[in-house]
Amino acid sequence: PTARTKLVAGNWKMHGNLAANQALLQDILSGLDACRTEVAVCVPFPYLAQAQMLLTGTQVAWGAQTVSEHAQGAYTGETAAAMLADFGCRYVLVGHSERRALYGESDAAVAAKFAAALQAGLTPVLCVGETLAEREAGATGAVVIRQLEAVIASSGVQALARAVVAYEPVWAIGTGKTATPQQAQDVHALIRGRVAADDAKVAEELQMLYGGSVKPGNAAELFAMPDIDGGLIGGAALVAVDFLAICAAA
Protein backbone atom coordinates (compact mmCIF):
# COMPACT_ATOMS: atom_id res chain seq x y z
CA PRO A 1 0.00 0.00 0.00
CA THR A 2 1.03 3.59 -0.68
CA ALA A 3 2.53 5.41 2.27
CA ARG A 4 0.48 8.59 2.17
CA THR A 5 2.18 11.74 3.43
CA LYS A 6 0.54 13.39 6.41
CA LEU A 7 -0.74 16.97 6.11
CA VAL A 8 -1.63 19.34 8.93
CA ALA A 9 -3.52 22.39 7.67
CA GLY A 10 -4.60 25.33 9.80
CA ASN A 11 -7.86 27.13 9.09
CA TRP A 12 -7.54 30.56 10.63
CA LYS A 13 -11.15 31.48 9.77
CA MET A 14 -11.76 35.23 10.28
CA HIS A 15 -9.01 35.77 12.83
CA GLY A 16 -5.73 37.64 12.88
CA ASN A 17 -4.04 40.90 12.04
CA LEU A 18 -0.67 41.75 10.53
CA ALA A 19 1.21 41.81 13.82
CA ALA A 20 -0.38 38.68 15.29
CA ASN A 21 0.01 36.74 12.04
CA GLN A 22 3.69 37.61 11.82
CA ALA A 23 4.32 36.42 15.37
CA LEU A 24 2.30 33.24 14.82
CA LEU A 25 4.02 32.34 11.55
CA GLN A 26 7.47 33.07 12.93
CA ASP A 27 6.79 30.92 15.99
CA ILE A 28 5.51 28.10 13.77
CA LEU A 29 8.53 28.32 11.47
CA SER A 30 11.03 28.30 14.31
CA GLY A 31 9.35 25.31 15.96
CA LEU A 32 8.95 23.10 12.90
CA ASP A 33 12.52 21.81 12.59
CA ALA A 34 11.80 18.26 13.68
CA CYS A 35 8.53 17.98 11.75
CA ARG A 36 8.64 16.12 8.44
CA THR A 37 4.93 16.29 7.61
CA GLU A 38 3.35 18.69 5.15
CA VAL A 39 2.11 21.83 6.86
CA ALA A 40 -0.19 24.56 5.55
CA VAL A 41 -2.12 27.58 6.77
CA CYS A 42 -5.37 28.83 5.21
CA VAL A 43 -5.51 32.54 5.96
CA PRO A 44 -8.01 35.36 5.30
CA PHE A 45 -7.68 36.86 1.79
CA PRO A 46 -6.05 40.15 2.89
CA TYR A 47 -3.17 38.25 4.48
CA LEU A 48 -2.22 36.09 1.51
CA ALA A 49 0.54 38.50 0.51
CA GLN A 50 1.89 38.44 4.05
CA ALA A 51 1.81 34.64 4.09
CA GLN A 52 3.60 34.57 0.75
CA MET A 53 6.26 36.98 1.99
CA LEU A 54 6.91 35.08 5.23
CA LEU A 55 6.49 31.51 3.99
CA THR A 56 8.11 31.43 0.55
CA GLY A 57 11.02 29.00 0.66
CA THR A 58 9.87 27.42 3.93
CA GLN A 59 8.17 24.06 4.51
CA VAL A 60 4.84 25.77 5.24
CA ALA A 61 2.43 26.15 2.33
CA TRP A 62 -0.47 28.58 2.37
CA GLY A 63 -3.92 28.87 0.97
CA ALA A 64 -7.33 30.50 1.20
CA GLN A 65 -10.60 29.49 2.82
CA THR A 66 -12.97 29.71 -0.12
CA VAL A 67 -12.93 30.69 -3.79
CA SER A 68 -15.33 31.85 -6.47
CA GLU A 69 -16.68 29.27 -8.89
CA HIS A 70 -16.21 31.85 -11.67
CA ALA A 71 -12.94 32.53 -13.45
CA GLN A 72 -13.48 36.31 -13.61
CA GLY A 73 -16.19 38.86 -14.22
CA ALA A 74 -18.82 41.02 -12.58
CA TYR A 75 -18.94 39.23 -9.21
CA THR A 76 -18.39 42.00 -6.69
CA GLY A 77 -16.63 40.86 -3.56
CA GLU A 78 -15.58 37.47 -4.93
CA THR A 79 -12.05 36.13 -5.40
CA ALA A 80 -11.00 34.02 -8.37
CA ALA A 81 -8.81 30.94 -8.13
CA ALA A 82 -6.25 32.49 -10.48
CA MET A 83 -5.91 35.38 -8.02
CA LEU A 84 -5.11 32.90 -5.26
CA ALA A 85 -2.55 31.25 -7.52
CA ASP A 86 -1.08 34.71 -8.17
CA PHE A 87 -0.27 34.93 -4.46
CA GLY A 88 1.38 31.53 -4.39
CA CYS A 89 -1.45 29.60 -2.79
CA ARG A 90 -1.18 25.84 -2.99
CA TYR A 91 -4.45 25.07 -1.23
CA VAL A 92 -7.98 26.37 -0.97
CA LEU A 93 -10.72 25.06 1.28
CA VAL A 94 -14.00 24.40 -0.51
CA GLY A 95 -17.30 23.55 1.16
CA HIS A 96 -16.27 24.26 4.73
CA SER A 97 -19.35 23.68 6.87
CA GLU A 98 -19.46 27.35 7.86
CA ARG A 99 -19.67 28.28 4.17
CA ARG A 100 -22.38 25.69 3.57
CA ALA A 101 -24.41 26.67 6.66
CA LEU A 102 -23.91 30.45 6.88
CA TYR A 103 -23.57 31.34 3.19
CA GLY A 104 -25.87 28.78 1.66
CA GLU A 105 -23.28 26.99 -0.45
CA SER A 106 -24.99 24.01 -2.07
CA ASP A 107 -23.30 20.76 -3.07
CA ALA A 108 -23.40 22.01 -6.66
CA ALA A 109 -21.80 25.35 -5.79
CA VAL A 110 -19.07 23.57 -3.82
CA ALA A 111 -18.45 21.26 -6.76
CA ALA A 112 -18.11 24.30 -9.05
CA LYS A 113 -15.62 25.92 -6.66
CA PHE A 114 -13.67 22.66 -6.54
CA ALA A 115 -13.47 22.64 -10.35
CA ALA A 116 -12.43 26.30 -10.46
CA ALA A 117 -9.62 25.65 -7.97
CA LEU A 118 -8.29 22.73 -10.00
CA GLN A 119 -8.51 24.76 -13.19
CA ALA A 120 -6.14 27.33 -11.66
CA GLY A 121 -3.69 24.66 -10.51
CA LEU A 122 -4.64 24.87 -6.83
CA THR A 123 -5.21 21.86 -4.59
CA PRO A 124 -8.81 22.03 -3.34
CA VAL A 125 -9.45 20.73 0.16
CA LEU A 126 -13.00 19.45 -0.11
CA CYS A 127 -14.70 19.62 3.28
CA VAL A 128 -17.55 17.19 3.98
CA GLY A 129 -19.40 16.30 7.15
CA GLU A 130 -22.73 15.73 8.83
CA THR A 131 -24.62 17.77 11.40
CA LEU A 132 -25.52 16.34 14.79
CA ALA A 133 -29.13 15.86 13.67
CA GLU A 134 -27.96 13.98 10.59
CA ARG A 135 -25.70 11.73 12.69
CA GLU A 136 -28.49 11.03 15.16
CA ALA A 137 -30.80 10.19 12.27
CA GLY A 138 -28.26 7.63 11.00
CA ALA A 139 -27.60 9.69 7.89
CA THR A 140 -23.86 10.34 8.29
CA GLY A 141 -22.80 8.05 5.46
CA ALA A 142 -25.49 9.26 3.09
CA VAL A 143 -24.62 12.92 3.70
CA VAL A 144 -20.86 12.66 3.19
CA ILE A 145 -21.28 10.42 0.14
CA ARG A 146 -23.80 12.87 -1.35
CA GLN A 147 -21.33 15.75 -0.80
CA LEU A 148 -18.50 13.72 -2.34
CA GLU A 149 -20.55 12.49 -5.29
CA ALA A 150 -21.46 16.06 -6.27
CA VAL A 151 -17.75 16.63 -6.92
CA ILE A 152 -17.21 13.28 -8.64
CA ALA A 153 -20.21 13.96 -10.90
CA SER A 154 -18.92 17.35 -11.97
CA SER A 155 -15.12 16.89 -12.07
CA GLY A 156 -14.73 13.11 -12.40
CA VAL A 157 -13.09 10.77 -9.92
CA GLN A 158 -9.62 11.40 -11.41
CA ALA A 159 -9.83 14.97 -10.17
CA LEU A 160 -9.50 13.65 -6.63
CA ALA A 161 -5.90 12.71 -7.47
CA ARG A 162 -5.16 16.45 -7.32
CA ALA A 163 -7.25 17.18 -4.23
CA VAL A 164 -7.51 16.59 -0.50
CA VAL A 165 -10.69 15.56 1.32
CA ALA A 166 -11.36 16.75 4.87
CA TYR A 167 -13.98 14.97 6.95
CA GLU A 168 -15.31 17.46 9.46
CA PRO A 169 -18.37 16.46 11.46
CA VAL A 170 -20.22 19.74 12.00
CA TRP A 171 -20.98 18.85 15.63
CA ALA A 172 -17.24 18.64 16.32
CA ILE A 173 -16.19 21.97 14.79
CA GLY A 174 -15.36 24.58 17.39
CA THR A 175 -17.32 22.69 20.03
CA GLY A 176 -14.54 20.92 21.91
CA LYS A 177 -16.37 17.68 21.02
CA THR A 178 -14.03 15.53 18.94
CA ALA A 179 -15.13 12.48 17.00
CA THR A 180 -13.57 9.37 18.51
CA PRO A 181 -10.74 7.97 16.40
CA GLN A 182 -13.02 5.06 15.47
CA GLN A 183 -15.93 7.33 14.47
CA ALA A 184 -13.60 9.35 12.26
CA GLN A 185 -11.89 6.26 10.84
CA ASP A 186 -15.25 4.72 9.93
CA VAL A 187 -16.26 7.73 7.84
CA HIS A 188 -12.80 8.04 6.25
CA ALA A 189 -12.96 4.37 5.27
CA LEU A 190 -16.43 4.85 3.83
CA ILE A 191 -15.29 7.79 1.71
CA ARG A 192 -12.15 5.97 0.54
CA GLY A 193 -14.27 2.96 -0.31
CA ARG A 194 -16.61 5.07 -2.41
CA VAL A 195 -13.67 6.51 -4.34
CA ALA A 196 -12.20 3.01 -4.73
CA ALA A 197 -15.40 1.82 -6.36
CA ASP A 198 -14.53 4.18 -9.22
CA ASP A 199 -10.73 4.12 -9.09
CA ALA A 200 -8.65 2.05 -6.67
CA LYS A 201 -5.41 3.94 -7.26
CA VAL A 202 -6.96 7.36 -6.72
CA ALA A 203 -8.56 6.05 -3.53
CA GLU A 204 -5.32 4.58 -2.23
CA GLU A 205 -3.41 7.81 -2.76
CA LEU A 206 -6.14 10.22 -1.60
CA GLN A 207 -5.00 12.33 1.34
CA MET A 208 -7.86 12.55 3.83
CA LEU A 209 -7.82 14.91 6.82
CA TYR A 210 -9.96 14.81 9.94
CA GLY A 211 -11.17 18.13 11.35
CA GLY A 212 -13.19 19.04 14.40
CA SER A 213 -11.66 20.10 17.72
CA VAL A 214 -8.28 18.50 17.03
CA LYS A 215 -5.98 19.43 19.93
CA PRO A 216 -2.50 18.42 21.06
CA GLY A 217 -4.09 15.90 23.41
CA ASN A 218 -6.12 13.99 20.81
CA ALA A 219 -4.16 14.45 17.57
CA ALA A 220 -1.87 11.42 17.85
CA GLU A 221 -4.66 8.87 18.34
CA LEU A 222 -6.63 10.33 15.41
CA PHE A 223 -3.62 10.42 13.08
CA ALA A 224 -2.76 6.83 14.00
CA MET A 225 -5.91 5.54 12.29
CA PRO A 226 -5.22 3.87 8.94
CA ASP A 227 -7.37 6.18 6.79
CA ILE A 228 -6.62 9.47 8.57
CA ASP A 229 -3.78 11.29 6.84
CA GLY A 230 -3.60 14.41 8.96
CA GLY A 231 -5.85 17.16 10.22
CA LEU A 232 -7.65 20.38 9.42
CA ILE A 233 -7.20 22.52 12.49
CA GLY A 234 -9.31 25.54 13.48
CA GLY A 235 -8.93 27.00 16.96
CA ALA A 236 -5.69 25.21 17.80
CA ALA A 237 -4.07 26.59 14.62
CA LEU A 238 -4.07 30.06 16.17
CA VAL A 239 -1.80 29.03 19.05
CA ALA A 240 1.72 28.24 17.85
CA VAL A 241 2.58 25.72 20.57
CA ASP A 242 -0.68 23.84 19.98
CA PHE A 243 -0.33 23.84 16.19
CA LEU A 244 3.28 22.67 16.50
CA ALA A 245 2.30 19.89 18.89
CA ILE A 246 -0.34 18.72 16.41
CA CYS A 247 2.23 18.81 13.58
CA ALA A 248 4.58 16.77 15.74
CA ALA A 249 1.82 14.20 16.29
CA ALA A 250 1.35 13.68 12.56
Q: Which is nearer to ligand PEP, 32 or 210 (CB)?
A: 210
Query: Which of 38, 105, 168, 188 is labelled catalytic?
Result: 168
Q: Does 11 bind ligand PEP (CB under 6 A)?
A: yes
Strand 38-42 with 60-64, pairing = parallel
Is 217 known as a binding-site position? no
- Is residue 10 within the footprint of ligand PEP (CB under 6 A)? no
Q: Is 96 annotated as catalytic?
A: yes
119-178 residues in contact with ligand PEP (CB under 6 A) are: 168, 173-174
Helices and strands (DSSP H and E) totals, the chain? 11, 8
What percent of the chain is helix, strand and coil (3-state, nearest 5)? 50, 15, 35
CB of residue 167 to ligand PEP, shortest distance in Å: 10
Identify the burial level of 149 via C-beta atoms within 10 angstroms of its C-beta, where 0-12 means exposed, 13-18 middle and 19 or more buried: middle
Q: With respect to ligand PEP, which residue has the nearer C-beta, 16 or 211?
A: 211
Q: Does residue 42 bind ligand PEP (CB under 6 A)? A: no
| Phi, psi (degrees; rounded to nearest 5) at 230 | 135, -165
The answer to whether 213 is annotated as binding is yes
3-state secondary structure of 248: helix
Does 66 bind ligand PEP (CB under 6 A)? Our answer is no
Give the H or E element holding residue 27: helix 18-31
Hey, which residues does 106 pair with through a beta bridge? none
**Amino acid identity at 128:** V
Cβ burial, residue 205 (10 Å; 0-12/13-18/19+): middle
31 among annotated binding-site residues: no
Size of the site for ligand PEP (CB under 6 A): 13
Is position 88 annotated in a ligand binding site?
no
Q: How far is the CB of 1 from ligand PEP (least distance, A)?
A: 27
Residue from 63, 169, 211, 230 that binds ligand PEP (CB under 6 A)?
211
Could you tell me how far CA 73 lies from the centroid of its own chain? 27
For ligand PEP, which residue of 50, 185, 213, 218 counts as binding (CB under 6 A)?
213
Active site residues: 96, 168
Contacts to ligand PEP by CB under 6 A? 11, 168, 173-174, 211-214, 232-236
Annotated binding site for substrate, which residues? 11-13, 174, 213, 234-235
